[in-house]
Structure 1
Amino acid sequence: MAVLVTRPDTRGEQLTEALNKAGVAALHMPLFRISAGRELNELPNKLTQLKAGDFVFAVSPNAVEFAAETLRNTGFRWRQDLTYFAVGQSSAEYFCEQSEQAVHYPYAHENSEGLLALPQMRQLTGKTVLILRGNGGRELFPAQAAIRGAQVEIVECYQRVPVEYDPIEQTNLCQRSGINTIIATSGDILTRLTDFVPAGERDWLTQCRLVTSSWRVAKSAERAGWQKRQILIAPKADNATLVKMLAELAEK
């Protein structure tokens, strides 16, 4: 088994290195690079304007990283009188580490649906929810938070910028490397992947096993041409879970 890692930044590099150390051949081809968001300078003021008891939600470790760096550089601290949330365990742990505050997350389902099912989210009238995220992304959580009565504020903390490759050259490299398994942990990555690979190589792409961490992305993959049997859904999106899953798969 040879795995293509599409996860961007150092987390993609770390995942590739961990897979190779575990005896699973892996190639890193990030489809995006992560850069600072265009609204980071608004973050200190938006945090200051929140009322005690308002909510702050970080979509990902990237959002936490850029937000925390901005606050450090401007002399601000994460407020102790706010309630903090993240979409999954890895993001929550990183948010807790950076903010030194307790961070809630949905244990059972680490996605927007799980977040919305938390008891704290049932009635949001009078609350302001500040969402720290990248450019684009799902609109389910902000839309539902508004329907439940919240005032929703969004800060673009990072941008996903497509990495430019020669599609034919990179696809040929993947084929020569024997890639038969691809990790695509988000809808944006899956869309970029299917748009990137030349049309003449679409059969090769959809015959590769696809590993994701979301039923939603899995359904998108089926619509893009993958057979259900070729799609594996990891219980979580963190690197340790993906390495364990793929190492066990390689041993079969």
Structure 2
Amino acid sequence: MNQPLRGKRILVTRPEAQAGNLADMITAQGGQPERFPLLKIAPANDLSPLRQAVARFDEYSLVIFISPNAVNFSVPYILSRRPWPETVQAAAIGPGTVAELASHGLKKIIAPSERFDSEALLELPAFQAHRVAGKRVLILRGSGGRELLADTLLERGARVEAVTCYHRSAPDDGTPIMSLLHNRAIDALTISSSEGLRNLLSLLDTEGCERLRVLPVFVPHRRIADMAIALGMQCVVLTGPADAGIIKSLYEFDWLHHERNC
């Protein structure tokens, strides 16, 4: 059996709840996934904004879920208090979020089919000014993050509310990953968010950062790639979107050439 990742230890940095699929794909290709979530996910400290939104749920035309975590920390709460209204259209940025919504029985989801980011969502017909002007739009998201989606919809005339339903934070202890880097026991890493990359660098000492910067870094979005380069990563691989794009780039990567030149 062809296993192009045999003998390679790959750092998987997605939040714990989203890391399993990519880790399984790496294992199937002969690699050894090393899970180290760079974002800790927890429920929002204050659920009153979500509770208030649910109380007037029928007033929204669109409800946008930013991530699978946005689904996991809001949809069970919503559906425990009321059925999903037929008049409210759900939207998602990526396929992982669509899949999470489907697991809760929500099937008719507006989502991009190629790039998976706020820009791609805003390009869809349903989000153009003549479609959203005067409409109430609810964005369910985590703490922090970009304001592009909300700001653009406001500019297009929508009445936008953004509710934080989960909290993101950095790991407390970088010792496990620092040990692996010091011992040259990591062959590559996958990064799925700019915030996660910043968290990783903040956890490392000087030697750890130096080891990290020569490793191949596989990222599924140009914005993350640009940040990785700006932060000194010397081998940044821009992959296709989602886990499928990352795994394809991992098994197509020229490992021998990289090892010869590092």
Bin the TM-score by the shorter chain: 0.7 to 0.9
Q: What is the alpha-carbon distance in structure 2 between the residues aligned to residue 14 and residue 27 of structure 1?
A: 13
Which of the residues 83, 107, 114 maps onto 1:77? 83
Gaps of 5+ in 2: 1-7, 257-262
Equivalent position of 2:144 in the other structure: 136
The letter of the residue matching 1:213 is P
> CA RMSD, aligned part only?
2.2
Tell me if structure 2 keeps the 8 A contact 1:125–1:148: yes
Which one of 181, 185, 201 corresponds to residue 192 of structure 2?
185
The verdict on how the C-alpha distance between 1:48 and 1:87 changes in structure 2, with shifts beyond 3 A counting, is same
In 2, distance between residues paired with 1:241 and 1:65? 24
Cα distance, 1:41 vs structure 2: 4.3
Aligned length in residues:
247
Residue 24 of structure 1: how far off its partner (Å) = 1.1
Q: Which moved more, 1:194-203 or 1:210-219?
A: 194-203
1:38 matched residue in structure 2? 45
Most deviating of 137-146 and 17-26? 17-26
Single out whichever of 145-154 and 99-108 deviates more from structure 2: 99-108
Q: Distance in 2 between matches of 1:101 and 1:233?
A: 31
Q: Which moved more, 1:169-178 or 1:97-106?
A: 169-178
Match of 2:118 among 93, 112, 117: 112
Aligned-pair identity (%): 27
| TM-score when normalising by structure 2 | 0.85
Secondary structure of the equivalent of 2:104? Answer: helix
Alignment of 1:76-225 (within 5 A): 76-123=82-129, 124-167=132-175, 170-176=177-183, 178-225=185-232
Q: Which moved more, 1:211-220 or 1:43-52?
A: 43-52
Q: Which runs of 5+ in 1 are unaligned?
A: none
Distance change in 2, residues 1:49/1:75 (3 Å): closer
- The one-letter amino acid of 1:110's match is F
> Matches of 1:163 and 1:52 in 2, distance apart?
38
Q: Does 1:231 align with 2:239?
A: no
CA distance in structure 2 between the partners assigned to 1:29 and 1:53 by the alignment: 38
Cα distance in 1 for residues equivalent to 2:200 and 2:120: 27
Q: Distance in 2 between matches of 1:33 and 1:48?
A: 29
